Structure 1
Amino acid sequence: MKNVILLMLAFLLTTNIQAQKKGDKDDEKKEEEKVFINSGLVSSLKFRNIGPAWASGRIADFAVNQQNNKEYYVAVASGHVWKTENNGTTWSPVFDNYGAYSIADVECDPNNFNVVWVGTGENNHQRALGYGDGIYKSVDGGKSFKNMGLKQSRQIGGIVIDPRNSNIVFVAAEGSAWGPGGERGLYKTTDGGETWKKVLEISENTGVNNVKIDPSNPDIMYATSEQRRRHWFGKIGGGPESAVYKSVDGGETWNKIVKGLPSVDMGGMGIDISPVDPNVVYLIVEAAEGKGGFFRSTNKGESWDNMSDYTSSGQYYNEIYCDPKNVDKVYSVETVSRFTKDGGKTWTTISTDGRHVDDHALWIDTKDAEHYIIGGDGGIYETWDGGATFDFKENLPITQFYRVNVDNALPFYNVYGGTQDNNSMVGPSRNLTRDGVLNDEWLVTLGGDGFWIAADPNDPNIIYTEYQYGNVSRFDKKSGEGISIKPRERKGELTYKWNWNAPMFLSSHKPTRLYIAANKVFRSDDRGNSWQVISDDLTTQTDRNSFLVMGKYWPAEAVAKDISTSQWGTIVALDESKLKEGLLYAGTDDGVISVTENGGQSWAQVKSFPGVPQYTYVSELCADRFDENVVYAAFNGIQSDDFKPYIFKSTDKGKTWTSIAGNLPENGTVHTIVQDFKRKELLFAGTEFGIYFTIDNGKNWVQLKSGLPTIAVYDIAIQERESDLVIATFGRGFYILDNYSPLREISEDLKEKEAQIFPVKDALMFVQTSNKDNQGSTYYKAPNPDFGATITYYLKEAPKTKKEIRKEKEKELFKEGKPIPQPTWRELELEEKEEKPHLIFTIYDSENNVVRQITQSPSKGVNRMNWDMRYAMPTTTNVSGSFSPVEGGGRGGRRGGGGGGILVMPGKYKVDMQLWQNGELKKLAEPVEFTCRKLDNTTLPAADYNENVQFARQVNKLAIAMQGSNRLLGELTSKVENMKQAIYTTPGASQDLMNKARALSVELESLNFKLNGVAAKASGEETPPAQVPLNDRLGDITYAHMGSTSGITGTEKMNYEILKEEFPPVLDTLKRIVETDIPALETELNKIGAPWTPGRLPVWKE
């Protein structure tokens, strides 16, 4: 009875907590809606991903459908989860908008591939590491996921599912790499993740990084624990609590197994069970004093044999995979992956010819072991010949960028960036095609891990590009040459201390001036040919070994001590004032901000900041663009297990600081901050989980979500000419928010307005071209922005239809428990036939002539649409059913902004906005002027483009008449055929009447031949010599200049003159048939009582 009561209390408590959580989320949503300036208001300002995909990015895990290995999931280390159903020909991101972007593990239920488990928080402890928020589960094949708990686990080591019972799942929780506590250890659920029980606990510093189930007996399990810690100042990669464990009772109890294993401290380990003989278990061990190695057990882990001293780095690798066919063959994925065929005695490297190094994941086909998929820092590779050759999946845009920069190239600027282990590169922000930017359009400027990069503002062929530890080169884009220009120690000077991510930038005061920093600041005035040291060591110069790690001081022999960490005490943030030459700011990895006002002759330092723990990493410094006394700073406490957003402002050149973190989320570590160049209060902050903006200098922050997944934003660049916001994400490549200028216009005052059109940026006119076609579905193309003039507008409220009004009233009555009046069938029918409210945007030229009208469905908030800068295309209407003003016209609705005729005249235009509702047209916003500029990129431009426009107008008039005639001809032909049928079925109808109808059919067919000619009998077959159909000539002159801005050709003029001569007789004949012949024939039909025919008014007399 006592147990029952406890269960009931637990159930009630759980239910109450779940209800409270739901209530909390609802309250958060309502609170956001109360704030006028929120994410929803600006949701139409969408980020555009430009890739690239050619470099791909770090892969953490695979989950392959064993029944259909064309279908599998990919866990991307810091780029979510992706799914393919066609062996990587195409991919779908299935985890974009959940609480984490860093993924460790993906596992599918062996009994139901639609059940997918995802462990968040990448399973390693290297320097560039994200963190997760627990375990997620999908029951619909990745269409949706639910967080199942363990939110404080931070990093997940692995997931295994009991093959006998899908509700039994084990999760190896590593815990935070940067601090103690949280949810770490081995967890088990027996109810599909609803509740969890910790079945293996080591300590607050040690979690579990591997768990495996014996395929022959699922009650037998193995787990490895890993004691590790990383901070900015150093790293410990192992300890006495790292061990191997075994369970024989389905994970309920565990025993440490040590026989034959190193007796010293161990670090990261990998373990696997041979599916050929489950008695054989393999283990790879990192250990202190060089005593790590590769071990084999032939008695289910009871004892181990050291097969060789081969091991790899436990902080980044040490993952092993047993071959499904050969008990002695094992794969180890690492910098250069390898395999053994003799149980670990000897090892052979896997070819890296045409393949990136640094592997992390492997799937081997159980039916064909020569076929496997391997994933690493450079993406996914597939082999069908055991690793001799590889196919690269070059269509995953998951590159990890540290930094981003832009240039001022015309007509489109370029984007520059440095990546995690995938080079530094430059590529176009967009191009002239309809398709978008291709992988081949990107250029590598430097190899390795890339960081800061910039192009000379006066000569874009000169690019300064950097790989890790300040190794900066000057790259010649024209020749492809590069030369190292890294500052070197002066005679007698101690070695400089460089950070992995050493800051560098070009001065805005002198284009040949370059700054870079180690523990000192350097300046070059001659493009890096020579350097001046302009500071002493600006760090605290604190010994990294003076800090406790996991509560103790560690000896030099500790496992992987400080391996793969930067020297501590380095400058990591650097900026200069654009307003005052010589005013520089430097920030360090040990929490110091230094300032000089005289170009480095003297420096002042600040080491304490309100609410910021001592020694916190300075992630960004940003000198104000409007006031030389103002500077902004951001701090990153992640590697101290501190996830708070630290962002500050100083108004006295760094002497004192005030937090402007405002309402940024508590786990929103700030990586970068930039200021708008026109509105000083407009700031942008890149955080661990997205990008935010503020229009009030940090009092209130709003997330920009649209088009952007949950992702870390490491850097932000503003392209000033275009007012584009370009961001470097750590795992999903580059994103661009095209023309963010409407954010400058947003204020609380906007909510008092009914509507507003924001300033329209000048639009560039050109003819869009095509890329290479027919390249298959793997061919990656990053989309260009929508072509044309972008019109951004605000609408306070979207007008409602009668149906919407009725349903809102019914909803209120239902809530109040009152009777709901039922509409009649007729009222419901009229609701469906109601012409919906719509917005009409009218484009005028400089002489107030209407050029185009664009119709849009009303939507509350800030919205965007595009006008393609073309005149309306002559066409005929074809309404099926009820008229709808906003359906069927492409982006611009019925009178849409796309699909027009030739490009308009370059020059000034304006646009206004009206609302049509209930038969009335209401003006909503004053006209806004903008300019359409023609791109000068043609070899044979028109001498006078106005001649093209006037010719097009003449052609349009003719086209409307000819297209209408063609449609009318078809209707008349159908009408006469119906008349013939009616005559034939009417008793007593004369043969003379039938002959009149037949004669009319012959005449109509003759007109059709004149207009359309004779269709070829088969595709591509030529028709016999005949007169050119009039519509062929019309097509030539109608579409000739849709893809060209060159002058009108003589052939076009000839065609037009022929049409002027030959079309009028056709029109005259049609007129006679419509006005005389058809009415006469219809009168005769009425006289003889013939059945009704289309278009004829029935007659009736009693």
Structure 2
Amino acid sequence: MNDQLYFSAARRFITLFIGIILSFFMVESYAQNKFEYLYRKNLTYEQRVRLGEQHFEINGEYRGNGYKQFERWKYWSRRSLNERGMIIEADQIDREISAFQAKNSKNGTQNAISGNLVEMGPMSTTNTSTWSSHLGRLTSISVANGNHNHIIVSAPSGGVWKTTNNGGSWTPIFDQMNTLNVYATEISHANSQHYFVGTDGSGIFRSLDGGVSWSTTTGIDAGDRINTITMHPTTSTTLYATGEFSGKLYRSTNSGANWATVFTSSFRLYDLEFKPGDSNTIYVSGWGEIYISTDNGATWPTPVSAPFAGAEPIMMAVTPANTDYIYALAATGGGFHAVYRSTDSGASWFTRSNNSSGTNNILTYNQGQLGGQAPRDMDIEVSPTNSEEVHVAGVETWKSTNGGSSWAKSTDWTVTEDPLPFIHADIDQLTYVTVGNVHRLYAATDGGIFYSDNGAVNWVDITQGIGTRQFYRIGASKTDVDRVVGGSQDNGAGIIRGGVWYDWLGADGMETFVDKNNANIIYGTTQRGGLNRSNDGGNSRIALPKPPNENNGSWVTPFEQDPTSANVIYAGYKQLHRSADGGSTWQTISNFNLTGVGTDTTLSEVKIAPSDNNTIYACYSNRMFRTTDGGTNWTPLNFPIGFFQINFITVHPTISNRLIITLSGGDGGAKFLESNDGGNIWTNITGNLPNIGAQCAVYEADAMDGIYVGMNPGLYYKNNTSGGNWTNVGNNLPNVSVTELEIQQNTLYVGTYGRGLWKAPLGGVTNVCGDYVATGLPLQIPDNVPTGVTSTINVTATGSITDVNIKNLSGTHSYIGDLIFTLKSPAGTIVTLIDRDCNDARYQDFNVGLDDAAAGALPCPYVGGVTAKPVGNLSDFNGQSPTGEWVLTVSDNFEEDAGSLEGWTLEICVSGGGVPCPSTIAVNELAIASGTYQAGVQLTSSGTVPNGNNVFFRAGNNVELQPNFAVQSTAIFEARIGGCQ
């Protein structure tokens, strides 16, 4: 999860139940003053919680009334508190990250991640036994003027994504900004390469090159959420933005570079519309009121509020089908209040429908229930060709064909509902975009982006390729490489196996893990401790019973597998329970005294020591206990400093009394405490980490005592060579919150809240390189045959590719400007190396090297013996396995030519594996290349190399040859043995 998202989650929830909290108070002005106090920065997390809990004690806890969002907000917000119990604000996170980057280099610590992190998705999913899953939450959609193919979308913790082929493929374009928490987007109607992005707490950003680069802008209040950016219909240099928290309308008159406040409303602002055909008339909606300017924003008379008595947030819609029409959708208490319509540009208003009967709540799951999730899930749109056709979005979508007088549900949130079409629940935005004769209605939902070209009768899903899943927890298989399960917000639990994602559990997926012995058995929880198991790799699921005398657990309920005993699992509710039969029956193994644990009387974290299943650590918020006899006796643990809660516990893989706890609200900014004696004595190891939310940690079982920690945002590392300092090692990782880390198969798996799952090979000996020389040459290059001729090299190296280069690519040809060279990896990736470079150039031979790091492209006129950049990127192979057949294809693409491929060498660098070498290496006066070489099976040497002409290695082991080690033919060479592969 992105760092700003925790805090935006707070604001999002508070926005969500503005009306709920105000219902406590008798006088509206007093209620608004109370709500303003709720937003003051000197209000603690606990004070905010008390206001919410008072409401739900009165109004109940049920689906669709905002309670789920309240619990979600509590979970995330409490994980990012300062020492005073205040939620860390977005502007503080920006400052902390910038300061850390200025003082510390990236990837400077020995033995950290080798190579870049690789994204594992999901980018697409297959539903198995879930009822409603998809990819991830989106908050806004912007379509280029006159081009349905060109779209950008935003995600509240996943940044900004772009497509230029109507969703055929998507590209993230905001990953390395200090915040990925985006709520508003706009593409200039005058120049489709000009983008504007509104964030939650970090202002407005602008790109003038289609998202390649971004610049900050000035004039937006720190901490404000920008929920609408709208360009003037005729003047592209003028833009407006609404600030939800500040209640301010902002305006820029210099193409978004600088912003100024136009006015400040009495409370909040939500929406902005221009009157179709009359750009002088602007409508802005707020809390129970609508502002109207008829002089192009020069003046703003007193807002219209009388018609909207009892209304809270208001969204609006206009239509070119009748330019005087304006619709207003109003909510109260998070649920549906009314739909109003003006037929005279806002001079007068009439109620079209309301929920006075209590049976017409079209903003939630059930029309007969109270509450809802507005303004989080709330929007209204009108057909551009029929002013009576109106669409409303809440949890689901509704349609009216009589100007809002009556409503029929037009979509359903479950995949099994018939005959209504499915789009994911919780719609943040509806927007009509007309191109030619196509009037397309888009929906941004908690699962992705959908559109309809026939008024919501049918919908098309174009979400595939957008990687914005918000993982709470992940679990990696101990037996199967890259089999990982994860639980996520709004989109349940999924598992990746064989490179394909399968979603097997709905709701909010939480703690998950893969059975240590059988990778087809997976476990997962939903919010508050719903337990589930799949025995077939996620194709189906079984609901497991909760332990006796237990109701709800924590929002993310502790759920763990025993590291030793088969079928033994643990679940933490008010007490800790153990099951010896995979969750069918339960035995209580604790009797914790809950006196003094405060209001949080359910366990929040449980960890079993991997090396000793009798040693278990369990905690309630800031109270922690330990057992060393499997739960018969428990010892309370004490701490040298105060803190609000323990976010995470990690235990060393081989030392049961060595552990780290991750803190929220620690005194003096403490984030991590480590103990080497089971929690009796603690050491603060926070060091130079930025003062932002600390989320998780994992030990690396190596001689260098490596530790990885996940922050909000970022991934950091230290070991016993780093002097206690931490280094940001998130190579290629977006600037997102890291929620869980797991190490299996010498791979670090990284679960994020907003950008899905990532992985990286671990360090140790990094970038082991080897050369592979093609055999079976020369080969004739057939004249004018586009399929060409192929040469293959079989690579036996293991690990994860970090670099690929081509050396000594040589041959003869009468017109090398007619040749195309491509390279195909064992994974099927094809990279174009040369594509008729120096076209129509007549030369008799070629001899080149190809390397992404080269200074430039192949020179023209052609010069032999150079190393040049390829046409494509050899880095496309990074992260793949090198093992298998590599295919070089050379084709002639014009007639009357002749030539042959004479030779080529493939250089591959890997991490987490070894580069096999011949059983002997001839010793001469040349330096032996640095690297780790895997020995042949027939070797018997102990590692001491005798005099002679050959160097011998012990079979099955790696030998690390030190850099620039020159060996004379008579020298005795002692080889240092590395880890076995």
Quickly name the TM-score band, shorter chain normalised: 0.5 to 0.7
Alpha-carbon shift at residue 286 of structure 1 (Å): 2.5
Post-superposition Cα deviations, 1:454-510, rounded to whole Å, max 9, x if no partner, equal 2322333322222222111122217955332232443xxxx6332332121111132
Alignment of structure 1 residues 645-1044 onto 2, 5 Å: 646-655=671-680, 657-666=682-691, 668-679=692-703, 681-696=705-720, 699-719=724-744, 722-737=745-760, 739-742=761-764, 788-790=797-799, 868=882, 894-897=904-907, 922-923=927-928, 925=930, 928-929=933-934
Query: Which residue of the partner structure matches residue 463 of structure 1?
Result: 522
Q: Which residue of 2 aligns with 1:158?
A: 228
The answer (yes or no) to whether the contact 2:639–2:682 under 8 Å persists in 1 is no
Change in CA separation of 1:401 and 1:104 when aligned onto 2, cut-off 3 Å? same
Indicate if the aligned counterparts of 2:122 and 2:501 stay in contact, CA closer than 8 A.
Answer: no
CA distance in 1, matches of 2:341, 2:740: 46
Change beyond 3 A, Cα 1:334–1:700: same
Q: Is the 8 A contact 1:275 1:322 kept in 2?
A: no
Which secondary structure does the structure 2 equivalent of 1:571 belong to? Answer: coil
* CA positional deviation for 1:760: 8.9
Deviation per CA, 1:404-427: give whole Å up to 9, x if none: 1121345x4411111222232222
Aligned to 2:262: 199
Query: In structure 2, which of residues 244, 249, 252 is the aligned counterpart of residue 189 of structure 1?
Result: 252
1:381 alignment counterpart = 450
**Alpha carbons of structure 1 residues 311 and 278: separation in structure 2 relative to 1, 3 Å:** farther
CA-to-partner distance for each residue in 1:569-591, whole Å, 9 max, x for gaps? 43332212223433322234x44
CA contact (8 A) 1:70 1:85 kept: yes
Deviation string for 1:722-772 (max 9, x for gaps)? 2011112222222111x2133xx6xxxxxxxxxxx66799x9xxxxxxxxx
The aligned residue for residue 615 of structure 2 is 583
User: Relative contact order (C-alpha < 8 Å, sep 6+): which is higher?
Assistant: 2
Query: Is it true that 1:255 corresponds to 2:264 in the alignment?
Result: no
Please, which of 598, 606, 618 is the counterpart of residue 646 of structure 2? 618
1:572 paired to 2:643: no
Letter in 2 for 1:570: T
Contact 1:760 1:790 survives alignment (8 Å): no
For residue 566 of structure 2, what is the amino acid of its counterpart?
P
Report what 1:941 is aligned to.
none
Deviations 1:216-253 (A, max 9, x none): 44444333446xxxxxxxxxxxxxxx654444551654
State the shift of 1:135 in Å. 0.8
Whether contact under 8 Å (1:683, 1:695) holds in the other structure is yes
Deviation at 1:922, TM superposition (A): 4.4
Cα distance in 2, alignment partners of residues 914 and 52 from structure 1: 50
Q: Compared with structure 1, are the counterparts of its residues 244 and 865 closer, same or farther at alpha carbon in structure 2 (3 Å cutoff)?
A: closer
Displacement of 1:678: 2.6
Match of 2:191 in 1: 112
Q: Which of residues 648, 656, 659 in structure 2 aligns to 1:628?
A: 656
After TM superposition, the structure 1 = structure 2 runs for residues 1040-1079 of structure 1, keeping only pairs within 5 Å, are none
Query: Which among 496, 506, 510 is matched to residue 427 of structure 1?
Result: 496
Q: Distance in 2 between matches of 1:611 and 1:189?
A: 46
- Of 581, 590, 595 in structure 2, the residue corresponding to residue 526 of structure 1 is 581
1:281 aligned to which of 326, 330, 339: 326
For 1:20-169, list aligned pairs within 5 A: 31-33=103-105, 37=108, 44-54=115-125, 55-121=134-200, 132-149=201-218, 150=220, 152-153=222-223, 155-169=225-239
Q: Distance in 1 between matches of 2:668 and 2:205?
A: 22
Quote the Cα distance in structure 2 between the aligned partners of 1:907 and 1:143.
Answer: 41
Q: How far, CA to CA, are the matches of 1:931 and 1:102 in structure 2?
A: 52
> Secondary structure, in 3 states, of the residue corresponding to 2:306?
coil
Structure 1 residue 50 displacement after superposition: 4.3
**What letter matches 2:235 in structure 1?**
N
Aligned to 1:502: 557
- Cα deviation for residue 322 of structure 1 reads 2.2
| Offset, 1:682 | 0.9
* CA–CA separation in structure 1 for the residues paired with 2:170 and 2:917: 43
Whether the 8 Å contact between 2:248 and 2:263 is mirrored in structure 1 is yes
Whole-Å separation in 1 of the counterparts to 2:215 and 2:890: 51
Give distance in 1, aligned partners of 2:923 and 2:273: 65
* Aligned 8 A contact 1:52 1:734 in 2: no
Q: Is residue 673–residue 685 contact of structure 1 (8 Å, CA) maintained in 2?
A: yes
Distance 1:868 1:336, change over 3 A: closer
Change in CA separation of 1:390 and 1:684 when aligned onto 2, cut-off 3 Å: same
Distance in 2, matches of 1:914 and 1:90, equals 52
User: What residue in structure 2 maps to residue 221 of structure 1?
Assistant: 282
Q: 1:174 to 1:927 in 2, by over 3 A?
A: same
- Structure 2 contact 548–586 (Cα < 8 Å) conserved: no
Deviation at 1:290, TM superposition (A): 7.1
1:158–1:593 distance in 2 versus 1, CA, 3 Å: farther
Q: CA deviation at 1:663?
A: 2.2
Report the 3-state secondary structure (helix = DSSP H, G, I; strand = E; otherwise coil) of the residue aligned with 1:112.
coil
Report the counterpart of residue 454 of structure 1 in structure 2.
Answer: 513
The aligned length equals 714
What CA distance in whole angstroms lies between the structure 1 residues aligned with 2:477 and 2:459?
Answer: 36
SS in 1 for 2:222: helix
What is the alpha-carbon distance in structure 2 between the residues aligned to residue 192 and residue 109 of structure 1?
9
| 1:47/1:706 contact within 8 Å kept | no
One-letter amino acid of the structure 2 residue matched with residue 255 of structure 1: T
**What runs of 5+ residues in structure 1 fail to find an aligned partner?**
1-21, 122-131, 176-182, 227-241, 432-436, 545-567, 746-756, 764-785, 795-832, 840-854, 858-862, 879-887, 900-904, 934-1102
d(CA) in 1 for partners of 2:573 and 2:323? 52
Amino acid at match of 2:176: N
Opposite residue 565 of structure 2, the aligned amino acid is: K
- Whether the 8 Å CA contact 1:186–1:207 is kept in 2: the answer is no
SS at match of 1:260: helix
Per-residue displacement from partner, 1:375-410 (whole Å, max 9, x unpaired)? 312222233333333332233333222221121345
Change (3 A) 1:319 1:898: same
Q: Any gaps of 5 or more consecutive residues in structure 2?
A: 1-93, 126-133, 356-360, 364-372, 413-420, 773-794, 804-845, 853-866, 870-876, 893-900, 939-981
Q: 1:308 matched to which residue of 2?
A: 354
SS at match of 1:469: coil
The amino acid of 1:186's aligned partner reads: L
Q: Distance in 2 between matches of 1:187 and 1:360?
A: 22
Cα drift, residue 136 of structure 1? 0.7
Partners of 1:418 and 1:705 in 2: CA distance: 22
3-state SS of 1:425 partner: strand
Q: Percent identity?
A: 22
Decide whether aligned partners of structure 1 residues 284 and 595 sit closer, same or farther in structure 2, where only a CA change above 3 A counts: farther
Deviation string, structure 1 residues 25-77 (Cα, Å, up to 9, x no partner): 999777445x8826999673442434342232222111112312222212233
Q: Which residue of 2 aligns with 1:345?
A: 405
Distance between the aligned counterparts of 2:269 and 2:890, measured in 1?
70
Answer yes or no: is the 8 Å Cα contact 2:379–2:430 preserved in 1. Answer: no
Kept after mapping to 1: 8 A contact 2:378/2:429:
no
Matched, 1:295 2:340: yes
8 Å CA contact 2:575–2:591 kept in 1: the answer is yes
Query: Contact conserved, 1:416 with 1:453, CA < 8 A, in 2?
Result: yes
Please state which structure has a larger fraction of its residues in helix.
1
- 1:352-391 aligned at under 5 Å gives the runs 352=412, 353-366=421-434, 367-368=436-437, 371-391=440-460
**Structure 1 residues 652 and 678, CA gap change in structure 2 (3 angstroms):** same
Q: Which amino acid aligns with 2:657?
A: N
Partner Cα separation in structure 2 for residue 620 and residue 424 of structure 1? 20
Q: What SS is found at the alignment partner of 1:386?
A: coil
Cα distance between partner residues in 1 of 2:374 and 2:937: 58
Q: Structure 2: which amino acid aligns with 1:385?
A: N
Distance in 1 between residues matched to 2:331 and 2:116, nearest whole Å: 49
